[in-house]
Amino acid sequence: MIRAFEKPIYVTRPFLPPLAEFSQGLEEIWETRWLTNDGPILRRFTQALCNFFETDNVCLFNNGTLALQIALQGMGISGEVITTPFTFVATTHALFWNKIRPVFVDIEPEYYTLDPEKVEAAITPWTTAILAVHVYGYPCKLNVLADIARRHNLRLIYDAAHAFGVRVGTKPIGHFGDLSMFSFHATKSYHSMEGGLLIFKEAGLKGTLDYLKNFGFKNEEEVVMPGTNAKMNEIQALMGIQVLQYLDEIVQKRARITELYRQMLRDIPGIHLTPPSSPDILYTHAYMPIEINETEFRMSRDELHEELKKYNVFSRKYFYPLICDYACYRNVSVKDPLTIARRVADRILTLPIYDALELSDVETICEIILSLHRGRRHESQF
């Protein structure tokens, strides 16, 4: 009989730098009284990210959603954009706010990213871009998508909200496509409490993005475009700089947790894991997704989600439902049957993962899952 955890185990908990370190950083802010508007800490953070991504084409925002909205506007994207329905709703909202029609196509079954064949089949004369998501931090089919974009003269934009720190070969993931957006929300493996980042190819875009996030101000007397307010403040930047120093440590801890989950879950009937990671890719283990095959596991994903709560374990049905099934997008016509996306959305569950999660707790979570499966198998024999 496995006992419930005394304290809830949430799907994620943010990493926090030592309080003394953060307080020291705050002292500088108290001294300068510079809270926002391109302050000294934001500039240092920007420089640190330029080094991290090995590019000067870097722009920080107060969150990832506004960063993506502004990116689409700054790049002049219009008409139709081919995208995935298996993502967080902000991906599609960013299109909607720019009056762009989302064209949802299916995902591939291994890592749940956009299926390039489906992308190609959905291109029309109105298509201007592909908006793909490195969902859970798994890189999309980068080369195939780049080839499609080049052949059809489309812009290739990545929602890399989950993929900060991921590297492919020798390159940071932000080097692929025309532009990538990273979210620094508190729930992400790397965060600045709230925050967003754009990394882009075209250096000329920087000026436009800087205007758009600051009301369109060029100077005190000139407003050159109808911008909005999406600036990152100094306290966010301070958190961002400090958490960055711990990134390797955070990723290593997450890697150990992932490894243990995979080891303990892989032989349980009805639990499907993503294929082992390619040696060419540096993952950051942002999420721990599993798929539940109800027939083999003898319990549905929804039941498992509920049963785990009884043990004080809070998993997430991330991403369910598909974006096109939300009330506000039900009127968007979807031609692709979305066979894989629908199957995955009905089966997916993300398990708790964060740097401070004890390996012994991961073991207990796996034992609970195994015991739930065994319980059902046992019941079915009578």
Point out which residues bind ligand PLP (CB under 6 A): 63-65, 87-88, 90-91, 133, 159, 161-162, 183, 185, 196
Give residue number: closest CB to ligand PLP.
64
**Closer Cβ to ligand PLP, 311 or 319, answer by number:** 319
**Closer Cβ to ligand PLP, 13 or 256, answer by number:** 13
Q: Nearest distance from residue 89's CB to ligand PLP, in Å?
A: 8
**Closer Cβ to ligand PLP, 70 or 299, answer by number:** 70
What DSSP letter does each residue of 57-93 carry, written as one string?
A: -EEEES-HHHHHHHHHHHTT--SEEEE-SSS-THHHH
**Closer Cβ to ligand PLP, 78 or 187, answer by number:** 187
Q: Nearest distance from residue 374's CB to ligand PLP, in Å?
A: 34
Nearest-angstrom CA–CA distance, 176 and 134: 11
Instruction: Read off the tokens for 308.
Output: 């785990």
Q: Nearest distance from residue 93's CB to ligand PLP, in Å?
A: 9
Q: Nearest distance from residue 147's CB to ligand PLP, in Å?
A: 24
CB of 82 closer than 8 Å to CB of 103: yes
Match 């084409």 to its residue by tokens: 57
Q: Nearest distance from residue 330's CB to ligand PLP, in Å?
A: 20
What angle do the packed helices 19-32 and 40-53 form, to 10 degrees?
130
Q: Nearest distance from residue 163's CB to ligand PLP, in Å?
A: 9
Q: Quote the Cα angle for 206-207-213, to 5°.
A: 90
**Closer Cβ to ligand PLP, 185 or 373, answer by number:** 185
**Closer Cβ to ligand PLP, 88 or 190, answer by number:** 88
Q: Nearest distance from residue 183's CB to ligand PLP, in Å?
A: 3
**Closer Cβ to ligand PLP, 189 or 364, answer by number:** 189
Nearest-angstrom CA–CA distance, 117 and 102: 17
Q: Quote the Cα angle for 117-118-121, to 5°.
A: 90
Q: Nearest distance from residue 285's CB to ligand PLP, in Å?
A: 15
Instruction: Read off the tokens for 381.
Output: 């024999």
Nearest-angstrom CA–CA distance, 361 and 47: 38
3-state helix, strand, coil in the chain (%, to 5): 40, 15, 45
Nearest-angstrom CA–CA distance, 86 and 319: 6
Instruction: Read off the tokens for 364.
Output: 């207990």
Q: Nearest distance from residue 62's CB to ligand PLP, in Å?
A: 9
DSSP state of 22: H
**Closer Cβ to ligand PLP, 265 or 323, answer by number:** 323
Strand order of the sheet with strand 348-350? 271-272, 289-292, 348-350
Torsion from C-alpha of 364, 368, 374, 378, nearest 10 degrees: 130
Match 């569950």 to its residue by tokens: 349
**Closer Cβ to ligand PLP, 140 or 268, answer by number:** 140
Match 């980068």 to its residue by tokens: 142
